[in-house]
A = this chain, B = another copy of it.
C-alpha cells in the first residue's frame, strides 16, 4: 500500500474510534472558562449527559439538554467555546480489559468546539437522542428553562494507543462510520466484542 493510502486508512480508523466512543458514551466532561467569582477566567470542569443519537442511530453530534440555571451554562452564555471529553473508562470496557483510565488503551476522545442552542428539526432529533437514552430528563422541572444544544465540533483529539494524541478534522469524523463492527480499537480488536 502506498504511504498516502496507508495514512488515509489509519486516519479513517482513528475517526471511526472517535465516532464509536462518542456514540457509546452517555455522559461527558465539559470544560468552560468560569465567569463567576472567585474563579473568574479559570478553566472549569463539569459533568453533562450527552447523546449523539438513539442507540445505533449515531449522528456524531453530541447533543445536550441544558438550563440557564446551571453554572457551566452561565459560562457558555459568555463564551460558548469549550471542550468535551469522553472516555471508555465510563463503560465496563477498560475495567474488563485491565486498562487503567489514564492509559491510551482505555480510549478517550476530546472535542474542541462550542456549545450552541438548537431549534426546529435538529432540536427534535436531539430530544429523541437524549430522552431515549436519558428517560429521566422528561421529568426534569418544567420551570427551569431547559433547551436543546449541540456541541459544534471544530477539532477531534483521539487517545487510543501509544505514541501520543492524534487529531481528526470534523469532515473526517463525520464521514467515518460509528458502526461497532467496523471499529478496531488499537488496543485490542478482540475486546470490542465484549462491548455488545
Which A residues have a C-beta under 8 Å from some C-beta of B? Answer: 26-34, 38-39, 42-49, 65, 69, 71, 81-85, 87, 89-90, 98-103, 108, 110, 112, 134, 136-137, 154-155, 157, 164-165
Contacts and interface: CB of A to CB of B under 8 A. Distances in A.
A74 to B, nearest CB: 11
A187 to B, nearest CB: 13
A81 B27 contact: no
Given A27-B89, A31-B31, A110-B46, A136 B83 contact: no
A72 to B, nearest CB: 9
B100 A49 contact: yes
Nearest to A66: B102
Copies per complex? 2
A69 B164 CA distance: 8
A45 B87 contact: no
A27 B110 contact: no
Contact of A45 (B30, B101, B164): B30
Q: Pick the 3 closest A-B CB pairs, nearest first.
A: A29-B29, A31-B31, A27-B101
A102 B44 CA distance: 16
Contacts of A165: 71
Contacts of A48: 101-102
Contacts of A31: 29, 31-32, 43-45, 83
B101 A155 contact: no
A131 to B, nearest CB: 11
Contacts of A65: 102
